[in-house]
A and B are shown apart, each in its own frame.
Chain A
Amino acid sequence: MDITASTPQTPDTGARWRKRLRIGVVALVVLAVGVYGARTVLARARPYVFHGSVIQSTEKAPQVSLQSGDGPVSLADFAGEVVVLYFGYTFCPDVCPTTLAKMARAMDLLGDRSDEVNVVMISVDPERDTPEIVSEYVRHFDPRFIGVTGPPEVIDRVATVYGVYYEKAEGSAATGYLVNHTATLMVIDREGYLKVVLPFEGTAEEIAADIEYLLEH
């Protein structure tokens, strides 16, 4: 090229700059679309993070057939809906009322959607908790809650397969004996698979979020 090419006044140089600008704009647009696309794809691909231990079992949640004050209750009764299982007992001094109150608050947060959620407390104190006592107890927290119990050997089997340890412990004269037990919430999805085990420390908001996700997916 001759020396005039470097002077900006010539039309030749102006055309070259326009061309560079065009390339630059195209490259930027491609980059922006690429980044936006990658972010969208990654956001979709990123799994929802539950607030407890996720179970990926290929087997359905173990069957439960026990008695409430209103008659027999079985997991099969809730087909197509979400079930939350909790193991506790009516003489329980602190953990059970705290958890059930939290669960009731989670139901409030879910609003209308809570119609498709069944909360079932299984008694780990079958000697003192009759079906009537346990049903009445849970209704204090939410009238929809279901309380069930059954023969000690059946309770032992159900608790064991749901990973729940329970054992009698000494209490005071006022409380009688106590029952130490695992205080987790087991959430079963619409298809009957145990999906997540929520720790006792979880908040009502976290419980509601996990249930909402399972209602939607």
Chain B
Amino acid sequence: MSRKAIFGAAIPIVAILLATASFVVFEPIQVLPRIRLAPGFSLIDQHGESLTSEDLRGSVTLYTFGYSRCGAPCDRLNATVSEIMDRLDEVDMDPETEIRFVTISFDPDTDTPERLDAYAEEIGADGDRWVLATARPGHVENVVKAGFKTWFERRDDGTFSYDPALVLVDGWGVVRGEYRYQTQTSDADRIVRHLDVLAEEIRNAHGAAALAYEAAHLFLCYP
């Protein structure tokens, strides 16, 4: 009788401890790391319009880097972006949060808005969800190299060697993912999965975190 009672009292306690331990061990809530601050920037897009980091605050954005004369070497990267765009129905994103794709050209001398627009058509960038843009020469170096921590270098023949990276930035302007190597799972698979993890985090955002989305315009010093 007394033994039964002790068991009766012990079972719920053991259950609580086990649940806590399993939570710590298995981490059922998956969160992407907050790798670093994404750069602030002011670009000119394929329509000749300004595109700034503040315009993208509140949206989840996947950045890639390239240039219109790139040709075949950029194909795989562009195909990855296209594949992710086609699979966005797998991501349960809050309807208020847009998923955007921005390809930054590090060849501003050649890539005028007209050239970017023509290149966009070639690779299937619609100019709305997926935008091509560049910046004035000094700024583009700061954004791509110092800001996004990737690299490019002009070769003697005018082509570029560059880092085929994809960088995922959340609506608060924080880098949440960097993708460089094709592993067993493709980059597209991983990125789609990570977008879904981010979507869950955004749905659960509250307090100051939610404020960053709601009051994005207040971050600016308006006249």
Q: Please name all residues of chain B whose beta carbon is closer than 8 Å to the beta carbon of A55 when the two chains form the complex.
A: 34, 36-37, 174
Q: Please name all residues of chain A whose beta carbon is closer than 8 Å to the beta carbon of B53 when the two chains form the complex.
A: 163, 165, 182
Instruction: Report the Cα distance A59→B207, complex, angstroms.
Output: 27
B221 in complex: contacting residue of A31, A95, A172, A201, CB < 8 Å: A95
Who on chain A is nearest to B3 by CB?
A23
- A59 B36 Cβ-Cβ under 8 A: yes
CB distance from B28 to the nearest CB of A (A): 15
Given contacts A38-B20, A163-B37, contact A184 B174 (CB under 8 A): no
- B221 A88 Cβ-Cβ under 8 A: yes
Instruction: Report the Cα distance A184→B220, complex, angstroms.
Output: 9
Indicate whether B72 reaches chain A with its CB closer than 8 angstroms.
no
Who on chain B is nearest to A54 by CB?
B34
Q: Please name all residues of chain A whose beta carbon is closer than 8 Å to the beta carbon of B212 when the two chains form the complex.
A: 52-53, 199
Indicate whether A71 reaches chain B with its CB closer than 8 angstroms.
no
Which residues of chain A from 80 to 98 have any CB-CB distance to chain B below 8 Å in the complex? 88, 92-96
Indicate whether A78 reaches chain B with its CB closer than 8 angstroms.
no
- B5 A23 Cβ-Cβ under 8 A: yes
Indicate whether A121 reaches chain B with its CB closer than 8 angstroms.
no
B40 in complex: contacting residue of A20, A159, A175, CB < 8 Å: A159
Instruction: Report the Cα distance A165→B53, complex, angstroms.
Output: 6
Q: Please name all residues of chain A whose beta carbon is closer than 8 Å to the beta carbon of B71 when the two chains form the complex.
A: none
A57 in complex: contacting residue of B35, B209, B222, CB < 8 Å: B35
Given contacts A38-B16, A156-B142, contact A52 B208 (CB under 8 A): yes
Indicate whether B193 reaches chain A with its CB closer than 8 angstroms.
no
- B222 A166 Cβ-Cβ under 8 A: no
Indicate whether A56 reaches chain B with its CB closer than 8 angstroms.
yes
Q: Please name all residues of chain B whose beta carbon is closer than 8 Å to the beta carbon of A102 when the two chains form the complex.
A: none
Q: Please name all residues of chain A whose beta carbon is closer than 8 Å to the beta carbon of B29 when the two chains form the complex.
A: none
CB distance from A57 to the nearest CB of B (A): 4
Q: Interface size bucket, A side?
A: 35 or more
A165 in complex: contacting residue of B1, B2, B37, B52, CB < 8 Å: B52
Q: Which of A53, A62, A167 has the most CB of B within 10 A?
A: A53
Instruction: Report the Cα distance A159→B143, complex, angstroms.
Output: 10
Q: Please name all residues of chain B whose beta carbon is closer than 8 Å to the beta carbon of A182 when the two chains form the complex.
A: 40, 53-54, 219-220
Instruction: Report the Cα distance A169→B13, complex, angstroms.
Output: 64
Which residues of chain A from 161 to 180 have any CB-CB distance to chain B below 8 Å in the complex? 161-167, 169-172, 175, 178-180
The contact string, 1 if C-beta is below 8 Å from chain B, for chain A 34-53, is 10001000000000011111
- B142 A160 Cβ-Cβ under 8 A: yes
The contact string, 1 if C-beta is below 8 Å from chain B, for chain A 138-152, is 000000000000000
Who on chain A is nearest to B39 by CB?
A160
Indicate whether B25 reaches chain A with its CB closer than 8 angstroms.
no
Indicate whether A216 reaches chain B with its CB closer than 8 angstroms.
no
Q: Please name all residues of chain B whose beta carbon is closer than 8 Å to the beta carbon of A104 when the two chains form the complex.
A: none
Q: Please name all residues of chain B whose beta carbon is closer than 8 Å to the beta carbon of A153 when the two chains form the complex.
A: 138
- A53 B142 Cβ-Cβ under 8 A: no
Indicate whether A117 reaches chain B with its CB closer than 8 angstroms.
no
CB distance from B180 to the nearest CB of A (A): 17
- B223 A93 Cβ-Cβ under 8 A: yes
Q: Please name all residues of chain A whose beta carbon is closer than 8 Å to the beta carbon of B139 when the two chains form the complex.
A: 156, 160
Indicate whether B8 reaches chain A with its CB closer than 8 angstroms.
yes
- A57 B36 Cβ-Cβ under 8 A: yes
Q: Supply 18 further A-B pairs (C-beta < 8 A) apart from A93-B223, A200-B218.
A: A19-B1, A23-B2, A26-B6, A38-B17, A52-B212, A53-B209, A55-B34, A55-B36, A57-B36, A161-B37, A163-B37, A166-B42, A178-B221, A183-B218, A197-B174, A198-B208, A199-B215, A200-B219
Q: 4 tightest CB-CB pairs across the interface, nearest first?
A: A27-B9, A165-B40, A95-B221, A163-B37
Residues of B with Cβ closer than 8 Å to A?
1-2, 5-6, 8-10, 12-13, 16-17, 20, 33-42, 50, 52-54, 138-139, 142-143, 146-147, 172-174, 207-209, 211-212, 215, 218-223
